[in-house]
Amino acid sequence: ATKITAPSIKFRNYAPKDDGLKDKKLKPGSAVSVLDIPDASTVQSDDMLNILPKKPNWDLKRDVAPLLQKLEKRTQRAIIDLIAQRVAEEEEEEDEEEDGEGE
């Protein structure tokens, strides 16, 4: 069958005082040097694009949307009024032509 082994003890942050446990202490890890981290001038523009939000003006669109809806309604009403006015003028011209021919 399978042999079960006990977990081994590893000391990362503790310095054991017992001589039997000193060999279980792990060597301290190396810190990352500040010189190894790339600065903003070496980072490619593609990397910077990943940091930026996809749609930076979403809040502007959200705030302006109701105003645009109101403006669209007013524009449609104005177009309808202009068409009605043009049709009325054409009918008046036709009536005047008919009256002029009838005399």
CA neighbor of 9 nearest in space, from 46, 20, 1: 20
Q: Does 23 score more than 90 pLDDT?
A: no
pLDDT digits 0-9 by tens, 33-90: 666 666 656 555 566 566 666 677 778 888 899 999 999 999 999 999 999 999 999 9
DSSP codes of every residue in 34-100: GGGS--TTTS-HHHHHHHS-S-TTHHHHHHHHHHHHHHHHHHHHHHHHHHHHHHHHHHHHHHHHHHH
Contacts 24+ apart (CB under 8 A), 17-25: none
95 pLDDT band, cuts 50/70/90, is confident
Residues in CB range of 21: below 8 A, 6 or more apart? 9, 11
Average pLDDT over residues 95-103: 72
- The predicted model gives 90-97 an average pLDDT of 89
> pTM for the complete prediction?
0.41
pLDDT of 16 > 70? The answer is yes
